[in-house]
Structure 1
């Protein structure tokens, strides 16, 4: 298949294993967060390519410690760890999905999830973090909120988020529809929008 998405997918491996990328070259003092956006209908192709990356990276870059975090699995583990999984299932059965989601979000704020992310992922000192499962974990995990709260934890470690939607370097549009500003509550929008800016991994 030789479409544009295939070309972009083929460019990922050489990009994320390059010394310039891993060394943060060309991004100044910005936080090394990257977004690989793609049409939501191509989710299965992305999952296949992520499986390819998980298999290929240890062979091509054996000295690079890579952690792949699926946000849906991460969320389920987080809820189970707090003894809330069965309760949330029961709440969904009796009160409906909306009530269950609201209840889960009360114990799974972006700040708490970012702290858990740090404890589970970053204490192992990875050299690269890949994040997927964005669509599956929505609406409980809002990625722009999670990323904002991860800034204080990530340091210079590159993070690549695979995003089923559109990213125009300013806003995230999940599934190509919902517009989610990275720092929409900022009173100093111009300054903070630049600081919290993520980069498109492959244009």
Structure 2
């Protein structure tokens, strides 16, 4: 899995942060939801292949769900991690907790935290180029954050690197569907890498 994507990411022209979608360097790669475990094994292997001397790319992979959990652990309320309070309230008032988590997942504070992590990685000195940030975990973070919302919120921050969202679902007629069923909203500004593979 992901073997078909490697030639695109290894292409020196595509690696340049300024090539392709210069004003909005975001891409989506769609894979079948039932291949989630195969994807999780394949992503580190793809990163390792990109690090080889003939390609020379060090990439960052971020599970967006894990990033949200870390954010809720770091944020405190009354001296306690917000995540602890959320877990305590979950059984008593699940709707309130749902609203609260959605608010934090779509907050400027969370997006800036994620964006600064991406930017710090891209600017880090080292022997390898750092053109790619891979973001996955969209099935896990649903329904708190959709890929389209994330890209809209990230737009001011996408500079100096390319973001590739790994999306468990389908793409048809310009529409991404999570698990092949749930519309992700309008992500028309992101390019579907699967279309490049079929061309």
Give the structure 1 partner of residue 141 of structure 2: 137
Q: Confirm or deny that 1:93 pairs with 2:91.
A: yes
Alignment of 1:53-72 (within 5 A): 53-60=46-53, 63-72=56-65
Q: Deviations over 1:94-127 (max 9, x none)?
A: 223x332211222332533321111222123242
Give the structure 2 partner of residue 189 of structure 1: none
8 Å CA contact retained: 1:169, 1:200 = no
8 Å CA contact retained: 1:144, 1:182 = yes
8 Å CA contact retained: 1:144, 1:172 = no
Farther-moved stretch of structure 1 (155-164 vs 108-117): 108-117
8 Å CA contact retained: 2:60, 2:121 = no
8 Å CA contact retained: 1:134, 1:143 = yes
Q: CA deviation at 1:135?
A: 0.5
For residues 117 and 47 of structure 1, the distance between their equivalents in structure 2, rounded to whole angstroms, comes to 21
1:61 to 1:158, Cα distance in 2 relative to 1, 3 A: farther
Give the structure 1 partner of residue 159 of structure 2: 155
Q: Which of these residues, 8, 32, 43, is aligned with residue 36 of structure 2?
A: 43
Q: Which of these residues, 103, 111, 114, is aligned with residue 114 of structure 1?
A: 111
1:167 to 1:24, Cα distance in 2 relative to 1, 3 A: farther
1:156 to 1:31, Cα distance in 2 relative to 1, 3 A: farther
8 Å CA contact retained: 2:63, 2:137 = yes
Q: Secondary structure at the match of 1:145?
A: helix
Q: Which of these residues, 14, 17, 21, is aligned with residue 21 of structure 1?
A: 14
TM-score, scaled relative to structure 2: 0.81
Give the structure 2 partner of residue 190 of structure 1: none
Structure holding more helix per residue: 1
1:172 to 1:19, Cα distance in 2 relative to 1, 3 A: same
1:110 to 1:179, Cα distance in 2 relative to 1, 3 A: farther
For residues 93 and 161 of structure 2, the distance between their equivalents in structure 1, rounded to whole angstroms, comes to 41
1:25 to 1:87, Cα distance in 2 relative to 1, 3 A: closer
For residues 168 and 112 of structure 1, the distance between their equivalents in structure 2, rounded to whole angstroms, comes to 33
TM-score, scaled relative to structure 1: 0.79
Q: Which runs of 5+ in 1 are unaligned?
A: 1-5, 184-192
How many residues are paired up? 183
Q: Which runs of 5+ in 2 are unaligned?
A: 76-80, 123-129
